Structure 1
Amino acid sequence: MLNTCLNNEKNLSLEILIKQFIQQYSQQNSTNDFKELIELFEKTSFYSLISSYELILLHYNQQQQQQQQDKDDLTLILSDEENSLKKEEEEEDHHYSDKDDQSCIVSMSCSSKLVDEEKENSNYASKLSEYNVSRLKIVRLEKRQGEPLGATICRLSDNDYRISIARIIYGSIAQGLFTVGDQLLEINNIHIQSQYRTLDDIVQLIDSLHGTISFLLLPTSSDETKTTMTMTTNHGINNQAFHYNQDDCSSSVYVRALFSYDPYDDMYIPCRELGLSFEKDSILHIVNRDDSSWWQAFLMENDENIKKQQYPGLIPSKQFQEKRLKIVKCLLDEETTGHTKKKLKKKLNKSISQQSTRQKILTTFSFGTYESVEWYIPNPLRKRPIVLIGPAHIGRHELRQRLMNSSDLSSLIDVAVPHTTRLKKSDEIDGRDYHFITRQQFERDISNDLFVEHGEYEKNLYGTSKSAIEICSNQLNKICILNLLPEGLDSLKYSNLLPYIIYMKIPSTIEKLREYFYVNEQQWIEIEQVSRQIEQNYSHLFDKIIYLNQSFDEIFSQLKSLVKHVQIKPMWVNQCWFSPRERF
C-alpha cells in the first residue's frame, strides 16, 4: 500500500506521504502489525531519519543534474542520417588539411556523441599556447572499471620527468589511439608531468578511472594521424582490433615454445605484470613483433585452436632469447676451462634471467626457442606417415613389424617400397618389392634430394624416396610406418608429407631396457650418446615421446593408439613439413 502511494505521488516529500497513508488506512486496519507500524511512524526520531534521507537525496539529485548538464554542454547528439555524418567528416578533413599547426584529435564515444568543435577548438588553442607547441593530440575513450588501458608508460630518461607511451598492447582499447613515443601531458585535465609524480602514481590514477577518460598528449613526430572519429562498443573495446584475423597482421604467427618461461624470474622484462608464463611445448599465437626484444602473444590450447586469455602478454623474442642462450653457452664453456662454480654462478646471475639450476640452462639452450606451427585438420583421403626415431638396438623395427601384423591395423598400414640398384630376382615384381633403377639414376636422385634416406650394401644402393612415401600415404591412402635415422627428418622438410614424429626415449638404466631387448654394455654406452645427440639436434621436431621404461606390451599399446589418433584428430603441425607452394 505504501509503495502505491509513493509511486503515485512522486513529487511529494516522504513525510507527507506517510501522514497521508496513516490517515487513509488507520480506520481500515486494526491488526497488531499495523498498530506497531503506526507507532513507528509517530516517533520523532523516525521523521529525523526521513529528513536526513531527503537531504542526501536532494544533494545526490543536484549532483546528477550538474553532471548531465556538463555532458550536454560538451556534446551534440549524432545525426541519424549516415550521409550527414559523412559530410561532416569530409568538412572536418578539409578544415584541418589547410592548417598545419592544428593538433590531432582522436576521439572514441560509446554513447554516439560528437564533441562540440567550437569549444574543443577553443580549449585546443589554449593548450597549444600553454605548452608552447604547434601540435597536440587528444584521445577520449570509454573504460570500464577495472579494465586495463592496454598501454605502458616510461620516463624519457632517468633524469627527465616527461612521460611517454612505451608500449601498446594488441587488441586493447589503447590500440589505434596512442602511438609509442607520444608524451603524456594530462589525464582528465590533471597535469601529470611533474618531478613529484612517480610512474606508479600515474598508473594508479589511470587504474582508478572509468567511464569517459580524456588524455592530452604531445604526439610523436612519426604520428601523422589526421582528425578522425572512431566508434567503440558500449564497453569501450576496440572490436576491430580485438577480433583479429591472422591474415590481416603480417607479424601474426603460431609457434610451439621450446623452453619454459616465467616472467617473474626474468630480470630484463620491462613489465612483469604484462609477462606471459608458459611451459615447454605450449602453443603461442604471436600477434605483435614490433619490439625486437619483446613480442606479444596469446597462450593457446595445445589441442584446440582457442586462446586462453583475453589480452596478449609479453614473451622474449627469438633474437633476444637466442642472445641470452649464447651468453649461457659461453659461460658454460668457460667453466670447462677452469672457472670455478662460484664464479660461474655469479656471472650467470648477471647475464641471464635467474635460472634455478645449471641443468635447466643446458636444457633450455639445447632445445632452442620457437618452432612455427599450423593448425591442421586431417584429410580423410590421405594419411600422415608415422616416423619412429631413436638410436639402434631399442626395438623400433620389432614395434613396426608388430603394428603391421596387428589384426585391426594390418589393412591400414603399409611401408614405402624402397629403391635399389641391384638386379631384380626372378620372383620379384618392380614396384611391389622394390623400385629397380640404375646406379646413375639413383645418384642423380640423391643429388636432387629425392631420398629421405639411402645407403650402400654389398655394392648396391638402397633408399626410401619421398615419392614412395607419397604413393603409400596419398594414392593408396595407407598409414606409412617409417624407421628413419634422425638425419632423414631434414629431407622431409617442406615435402608436404606432414610426418608425425615419435621419439623412443631410452630408460635411465640398461637393466630396464634389457627387460624386453638385450643390449651389452658397449651398445648401451653408444645408445646413450646417440640419444643425447638426437635430443639436442632434433627434439624441436618431436610430436610425441614414448618412454621405454615400461613393458613392451605397454609401449606397443601406446604406439598403436597414437597411430590411430593422428589420422583423425586436428592438431598443431610443425610448419616446416608443409610445402610453401602446395597445400591440401
Structure 2
Amino acid sequence: MCSGVSEVLSSVVKDVDQAVSRNINGAQLLHELLSAPWLCALLKIYECLLKFQRLTPSPVLPYAAGLSHEVSPARELCSLLSSPHIQGATIRKDEATGDIYIARVIHGGLADRSALLHPGDLLVEVNGNPVVGLEPEQVIHILANSQGTILFKVIPNPSQASNSQTLVCMRAMVDYCPLQDSSIPCPDAGMAFSRGDLLQVVDQSDGQWWQARKLPCATSCAGLIPSASMLKSKQREQWWCQPLQCSLTSPAGFRRSFRVWKRTSYRKRRQSCTTCSPNTNALSTPYEEVVLYQRPPQENHRLIILVGASGVGVNELRKRLIKLNPSTFQGPVPHTTRSIRAGEQNGREYHFVTKELFEYMVCNHRFVEYGESKGQLYGISTDAIDEVLKRGRMCIIDAEPHSIQLLRTKKFKPYVIFIKPPKRETKQKNEYFAELEETSKLIEAKYKQFFDSVLVNDDLQDACIELCSIIQQAQDEPQWIPVSWGRAED
C-alpha cells in the first residue's frame, strides 16, 4: 500500500458516488463505509507512521541485545529521564534483597503516559549497569550523569494492581509544603497546598502518600501529598509541641449583629458558643471531601454568612442588602431576656424569653453568639435562622469567624463570604487602618479554609452590588460543599 492511501480512497469514493447516482445495488452501503470518519483518520495515521519510519532511523544500541537473553520477562524503556530522576516515577530499595523497585508512578507524568512503568516493577540495569545493591541516590546519580538515550532493564511486576481508582475531590483544611517535610520520599515530586485549596485525589493506594492535582487545573501532572492519616499524625506532633493557649476569646470581637447595644457593654460579658460546642476539636481534619452541589428549587436557600474584621463594613453591607430587597433578604430575629417595650411585638424586634429559657438554650448550643448588656442577655439562635429559611427567604448574618464551624451543617449549607479591607499605600495608612488590615490578615490566615468567596469592600455601593451577584451565584450555580451535606438522610 502506498503512502498516498488517502488520495486513493478519495478517488474510490468519487467512483462509488457515481454508482450511487445510478442506483446500483449496494453502492450506498459501500459509500457510507468508505466515507466513515474513523477510516479516514486511520489511513492518515498510517501515512504518518510510514513517513516517520522513512525519516527517523531506528537507534542502534550495542548493549540492547542482552535484554532478551539474561532476563526473559525484562523490557527496555527509553527516554524516560528528566534529570535528576526518572520523570514521573520514584524508586525504592528493598533492604532485605538490595533490589531497586519502582515505588510509584506519578499520574499524568511521562512514565504514566508511556504505560511502560508500573509500581512494583524491578529495575535491573540502567544503560547496562546493574543497580542491584545500590542505594536509590546512587541510581539517581547514574541517571543524572547519563547522556543521550537512557535504557532501563525492567522486570514487570507480575501482580500489577488495577489503576481504576475513583477520583475524589477534597478541600485542604491545613497548609503543606513538601520542601519543609523531611519524611516525603521525593520533595521534587511533592505538591504544596494552602488552606481552602481544592484537590483532586487520583491515587490513594499508598497508605502514607497520596497523589493529587489542584483544581481547576486537573490536567496537570499529579504531585505527592501526605495521606489524611499521615497529615493527622503530623498535626498531632505539632500540637503537642505548642505551648498551651487559653481558649477564651477577646471581648472586642463580639460586635456587628448586636450594635443595638453600646460598644462599652460588650466588655461586660461575652461568650463564644464554640468554646463549649461538642463539635470543637483540638485538631482539625486535614482534608474535607467535597462534591459539587446544585440547590434544587424545592430546597431552602443556603445560609449566607458574612465574615470580616470589626470596622471593615460587614454590618453595613448586611443592612444595606436587606434594605435593598427585604422580600428576598432577611436577618434572624435575636433573643433577649429584657422586658418587652411599648410598640414592640414578640418575634418582630426580638424573641422575648425568660432568663431560665435563655440559659437552657445556651447549654444546648442553640446560640451562634450571645452576650450581656445592662444585665440582660441577647443572642442569635439557630432556631431564628431556621425560621427565616423556612419562609423561603435568604438569611443573611454576620458572624464571628469562630462561629462558622457551628453553622457548617447539612441543615444550613452555609456559604461564607469574607469581607476584606481595600489595599492602601503605606503613606496613606493610619493606625486604625493598619490595625484593621492586620486583623483581616490574621482572620484569613486562620479561617480561609471555610471561605467560599472573598469580597473587597473598597466602595460600599460597588461592594453591595458585587455581594448581590456572589449570593445569586451561591444559590443558583453549582458550588463545592462537604460530601456529608449532600448525602440522603439515613
Structure 1 pair 558/329, CA: closer, same or farther in 2 (3 Å)?
farther
> Aligned partners of 1:164 and 1:260: how far apart in 2?
28
Equivalent in 221, 224, 234 of residue 314 of structure 1: 224
2:302 aligned counterpart, secondary structure: coil
Following TM superposition, by how much is the alpha carbon of 1:482 offset from its aligned partner in structure 2, in angstroms? 0.4
- Aligned residue among 379, 399, 405 for 1:490: 405
Correspondence list, 1:47-196, <5 A: 151-156=89-94, 162-169=99-106, 172=112, 180=120, 183-185=122-124, 193=132
Against the structure 1 CA distance between its residues 513 and 377, is the aligned structure 2 distance closer, same or farther, given a 3 Å change threshold?
Answer: farther
> What pairs up with 1:421-440 in 2 under 5 angstroms?
421-425=337-341, 427-440=343-356
How far the C-alpha of 1:324 sits from its partner, in A, is 9.1
Q: 1:484 offset after TM fit, Å?
A: 1.3
Q: CA deviation at 1:446?
A: 1.5
How far apart in 1 are the matches of 2:93 and 2:312?
60
Q: Report the equivalent of 1:551.
A: 459
Superimposed CA distance per residue, residues 449-493 of structure 1 (whole angstroms, 9 cap, x where no aligned partner): 1221222233332222223222322x2222111011223213213
2:393 is aligned, of 478, 482, 490, to 478
Give 1:296 deviation, angstroms.
Answer: 0.9
Q: 472, 475, 480: which one pairs with 1:572?
A: 480
Contact 1:451 1:464 in 2 (8 A): yes
Structure 1 residues 399 and 285, CA gap change in structure 2 (3 angstroms) = same
Residue type at the aligned position of 2:391: L
List gaps (5 residues or longer) in structure 1: 4-55, 61-73, 75-122, 128-136, 220-224, 231-237, 247-251, 333-366, 515-520
- Two-structure CA RMSD over aligned residues (Å): 5.4
Is the contact made by 1:288 and 1:297 (CA closer than 8 Å) also made in structure 2?
Answer: yes
Q: Is the 8 A contact 1:185 1:216 kept in 2?
A: no
CA contact (8 A) 1:300 1:307 kept: yes
CA gap 1:494/1:145 in 2 versus in 1, 3 angstroms: same
Amino acid at match of 2:218: K
Deviations 1:337-359 (CA, angstroms, capped at 9, x unpaired):
xxxxxxxxxxxxxxxxxxxxxxx
Query: Retained in 2: the 8 A contact 1:169–1:296?
Result: yes
Closer, same or farther in 2 for the Cα pair 1:296/1:139, shift >3 Å? farther
Contact 2:196-2:450 within 8 A present in 1 as well: no
TM-score of the superposition, structure 2-length normalised? 0.58
Q: How much has 1:424 moved relative to structure 2? A: 3.7
Are residues 1:450 and 2:366 paired?
yes
Kindly tell me the number of residue pairs found equivalent between the two proteins.
Answer: 377
Distance in 1, matches of 2:400 and 2:374, equals 20
Instruction: Please state how far the C-alpha of 1:214 moved relative to its aligned partner.
Output: 7.1
Q: Is the 8 A contact 2:176 2:194 kept in 1?
A: yes
Change (3 A) 1:545 1:457: same
Does the alignment pair 1:388 with 2:306?
Answer: yes
- Cα distance in 1 for partners of 2:199, 2:105 equals 19
Distance 2:130 2:433 in 1: 72
Q: Is 2:80–2:87's contact at 8 Å kept on the other side of the alignment? A: no
- What secondary structure does 1:378 align onto? coil
Of the two, which has the highest radius of gyration?
1
- CA change 1:575–1:400 in 2 (3 A) is same
CA distance in 1, matches of 2:239, 2:345: 56
Q: 1:512 to 1:500 in 2, by over 3 A?
A: farther
> SS where residue 487 of structure 1 aligns?
helix
**Residue identity opposite 1:405 in structure 2:** K
- Would you say 1:198 and 2:139 are equivalent positions? yes
Report if aligned partners of 1:494, 1:580 keep a CA contact under 8 Å in 2.
no
Residue matched to 1:379? 296
Aligned to 1:541: 450
1:368 and 1:507 map into 2 onto residues whose CA distance is 32
TM-score relative to the length of structure 1: 0.50
Q: After TM superposition, list the pairs within 5 Å mapping 1:288-367 onto structure 2.
A: 288-289=203-204, 291=206, 294-301=209-216, 307-309=218-220, 312-317=222-227, 319=230, 323=234
For residues 160 and 145 of structure 1, do their structure 2 counterparts lie closer, same or farther at Cα, with a shift above 3 Å needed?
A: closer
Contact 2:170 2:287 in 1 (8 A): no
Q: Secondary structure at the match of 1:444?
A: helix
Aligned to 2:417: 502
Larger RCO (alpha carbons 8 Å, 6+ apart): 2
Secondary structure at 1:472 match in 2: helix
On the 8 A contact 2:334/2:379 being kept in 1, the answer is yes
Q: Take 2:211 and 2:394, find their aligned partners in 1: how far apart are those partners? A: 39
